[in-house]
Amino acid sequence: MKRHDAKEWLDEEGAVEPQELERSLREVWAVNRYLGGNPPLLRHLERLLDRAGKAGPAARPLRVLDVATGLADQPLAVHRWAAARGWRLRVTGVEISPAIAELARRRTAANADITIDVADGRRLPYADGSFDVAFSNLALHHLSDADAVAMLSELQRVARHGWVVTDLERHPLAYGAARLLALAVWRSPVTRHDGPLSVRRSYTADEALELLGRAGLNGAAVRRHFPWRLALLSDA
């Protein structure tokens, strides 16, 4: 399958009403939770956080960055998951869309350890090494090759102990599964439109490796995970 470059509705600021925006993003979260999106992310985060925790004072909270946080589902889930393992985290979620960032702030208002900033993942407003670990989930396929390279370079710059980017892997079977979900499961017209398109916009493992090379991250790696997931990772 050739990579598609049509824009998703979620990428069009103001094109989707806030209520429908939230509905669609919640369906995306369900895909992460129930269809294999979270395990690859948490598996690689565990190793990075373990190393970061051993590198500094035990009492210091680890600073974690989530680029393209959406409704902040991942910061909330990662914070709970880390607490169960004895890690104290301060998570900053970055979202380029002010409308989505506002929804994320409402969802995280009760958690003082989570902050939501409006910022562009291709040009992060943080100093070098500001975070111990960084991650991004289901954002890479929204970007052009050049923008993806820029985001990967920024993650490398701001994360002292490494980062992980997880996303879909473009594959005909993955596209077929997304079409089936659009027909039978998803209720939001936004998700029905964007879900199959997300698969067609995503990268293959070889293409992801090429992105890392273009970003000068020759020490970084690409791992494939079932079902049709990629993890790009660097130990910084």
All domains of the chain in start order, with CATH = 9-234 (3.40.50.150)
Do the beta carbons of residue 160 and residue 65 sit within 8 Å? no
pLDDT (0 to 100) of residue 216: 97
Q: Give the model confidence (pLDDT) of 180-233 as tens digits.
A: 999 998 999 999 999 999 999 999 999 999 999 999 999 999 999 998 999 999
Burial of residue 111 (number of CB atoms within 10 Å: 0-12, 13-18, 19+)? middle
Q: Give the model confidence (pLDDT) of 125-153 as tens digits.
A: 999 999 999 999 999 999 999 999 999 99
Consecutive H or E run containing 29? helix 18-34
- On the question of pLDDT at 16 being above 90, the answer is no
pLDDT (0 to 100) of residue 230: 96
Q: Give the model confidence (pLDDT) of 83-118 as tens digits.
A: 999 999 999 999 999 989 999 999 999 999 999 999
Check residue 14 and give left, alpha or beta (phi > 0: left; psi -120 to 50: alpha).
left
pLDDT (0 to 100) of residue 31: 72
pLDDT (0 to 100) of residue 36: 67
pLDDT (0 to 100) of residue 25: 84
* Banded model confidence at residue 34, pLDDT cuts 50, 70, 90: low
C-alpha span between 140 and 20 (Å, rounded): 23
C-alpha span between 145 and 202 (Å, rounded): 11
How far apart, in Å, are the Cα atoms of 75 and each of 28, 133, 199?
A: 15, 13, 24
pLDDT (0 to 100) of residue 83: 94
